[in-house]
A and B are shown apart, each in its own frame.
Chain A
Amino acid sequence: MADKYNLKNPAVKRILQELKEMNSNPSDDFMSLPLEENIFEWQFAIRGPRDTEFEGGIYHGRIQLPSEYPFKPPSFMLLTPNGRFETQTKICLSISNHHPEHWQPSWSVRTALVALIAFMPTNPNGALGSLDYKKEERRTLAVKSREAPPKFGTPERQKLIDEIHEYMVSKAPPVPQPSASEASEENPRNEEAETHANSLNPESLTAGEVILDQEVDGIVEEQEEVLANANPAGVEASREVQPSVSRYEVLQKSDTRVQNPKPETRVQKPDDRLFTLAAIGLTIAIVVLLLKKFIKSTQHGALFSDGS
């Protein structure tokens, strides 16, 4: 097995490290494993987000990691019909290879899957590889997705898909009852708010771990990106924040400078005393000179009277 993978390749080492982390911290929302023959090919399965029409569904997919990973983004392809993304087609998201300019090397397969779950209930807006089915159709597809995993690829890959499906069926809760669906239909606005809250709740529960903090950062960044794409003004706002930070730093520097002159005042006291003493001495000298001048004028008067 050691000869099978080139450990000198940084991409392979990075992928093995991610695999180790995902195995040590498994999640109930998703599971992914690489093929034994090619570590750059992964199979994954995600759970439908809670309180949405996708709840209870188990959606399988495929991930292709590039050879330059993590400096280039992977590509994602869903295999189970879901009503939100097309099957057998690469998905266009800010985390996929359609937008390499938005990718960050600190993101990982784990953060990508969490983001994919969060993107399920969003509006596709005509993005490449996305679909916009009705809620009833999506719910039907969710129920159908639990019954059997999709058929795809080689027997080895199919075996891996079956293993992942068994794990997800045992972990994910079943599709909610029709009464719950009626409640969700009555409150569409609350539903949208709850989806965002629920998507973040599992992460907040485990926020203590450093590894998960990256996921939170990644998701927040992705949401910000979506907002930035929708509102160009948001980008301008982010730019404005930076100069204010620099101004604050300038203020700090000026404060440090103000503190410096304080020692000067203390040192100046003895110099001031010397200065006063010198002034007093000079004043006395001036007074003496004035007295001498007065005496001379008196003598001059005396001489004048003698002459007359």
Chain B
Amino acid sequence: MALDHFEETVHQKGNWKSSSEIIADSDRNASGDFDCNICLECVQDPVVTLCGHLYCWPCIYKWLHFQSTSLDDEEQQRPQCPVCKSEVSQSSLVPLYGRGQTTLPSKGKPRQVGTVIPQRPHGPRTLNTRSVSQPISQSYHPYSNPYHPQQHFNSIPSGYTSPMIRTTGSIDNTFGIFGEMIYARVFGNHVSNIHTYANSYNLSGTSNPRMRRHLMQVDKSLSRISCFLLCCLVLCLLLF
């Protein structure tokens, strides 16, 4: 098709538009919004930069590596977006997945026989889950501490001692931190798993975020009530 257009352009002199070209023009305009900014064709393995510009993953990969190698000789500058020159890195590219996108990479592979191009970078979801998993693992130990005071409380409900006061304070701090974590990130499998474990301990199988908040509030109120009771006991002893 392109070759036919090329022949027509060579031989034609004054008339540059024909019926076939008009049809091609209308088709191209309709789909122009999803053409790669580098190869000017319908995008394959699409990736989007943070500034919103669309590229084929092989095209932008070549440009990033080409620019990095050439710029290393002169100055170590960061790669730029080919359209608006904002900073671009391989990790900041966001892939776009549509229906049937899995078949396109196999079709595109013959094109890239000469060059080995890795798979597209993962989306921000993976990054978020990684960031979420780390603080959870860090907070696992302090979260396990409250179990022992809870058992102690259940075994001796009438006993109130100074160690209990300290454990109460630690419980409050731990629950506060955990609450903040839940509010910051309300998604992810790891969070729900840990909360499910907590729920099973509390004998409530709900996984609704509202129920979670309610449980946290109940725990806080219980700690307050226990402090108040301790104050009252102290007052009674003094008066008595």
Chain A residues proximal to chain B, CB less than 8 Å: 1-2, 4-5, 8, 10, 13-14, 16-21, 23-26, 33, 36, 68, 70-71, 100-101, 104-106, 108, 163, 166-167, 170, 209-211, 214, 217, 221, 242, 257, 260, 263-264, 267-268, 271, 274-275, 278-279, 282, 285-286, 289-290, 293
Contact = CB atoms under 8 A, between A and B. Distances in A.
A268 B179 CA distance: 14
A248 B111 CA distance: 42
Contacts of A24: 17, 21, 24-25, 28
B208 to A, nearest CB: 13
Interface in B64-118: 66, 70-71, 74, 80, 82-85, 87, 110-111
Given A26-B16, A166-B13, A286-B235, A105 B85 contact: no
Given A16-B2, A106-B82, A214 B228 contact: no
A106 B217 contact: no
A163 B220 CA distance: 86
B59 A105 contact: yes
A88 B190 CA distance: 68
A264 B6 contact: no
A23 B16 contact: yes
A266 B9 CA distance: 72
A271 B221 contact: yes
A290 B82 contact: no
A289 B10 contact: no
Contacts of A282: 228-229, 232
A128 B70 CA distance: 22
11 contacts: A1-B3, A1-B7, A10-B39, A23-B5, A105-B37, A105-B63, A209-B29, A221-B85, A267-B217, A278-B225, A290-B239
A102 B2 CA distance: 30
Contacts of A104: 80, 82-83, 85
Contacts of B80: 104
A21 B62 CA distance: 24
* Central interface residue in A13, A20, A163, by most chain B CB within 10 Å: A20
Contacts of B32: 210-211
The dominant DSSP class at the A interface is: helix
B82 A268 contact: no
Contact residue range for chain B?
A: 35 or more
Interface string B21-51: 1001100110011000111110000000000
A19 B5 contact: yes
A14 B40 contact: yes
B140 interface: no
A133 to B, nearest CB: 33
A17 B236 CA distance: 91
A10 B60 CA distance: 13
Interface string B176-220: 000000011000000000000000000000000000011001101
Given A26-B17, A71-B66, A289-B239, 20 more contacts: A4-B3, A17-B39, A20-B2, A20-B5, A21-B28, A24-B17, A24-B24, A24-B25, A33-B10, A101-B74, A104-B80, A106-B37, A106-B83, A108-B40, A170-B14, A210-B32, A211-B32, A267-B214, A286-B236, A290-B239
Nearest to B2: A16
B201 to A, nearest CB: 21
Given A14-B40, A20-B24, A282-B232, A267 B213 contact: yes
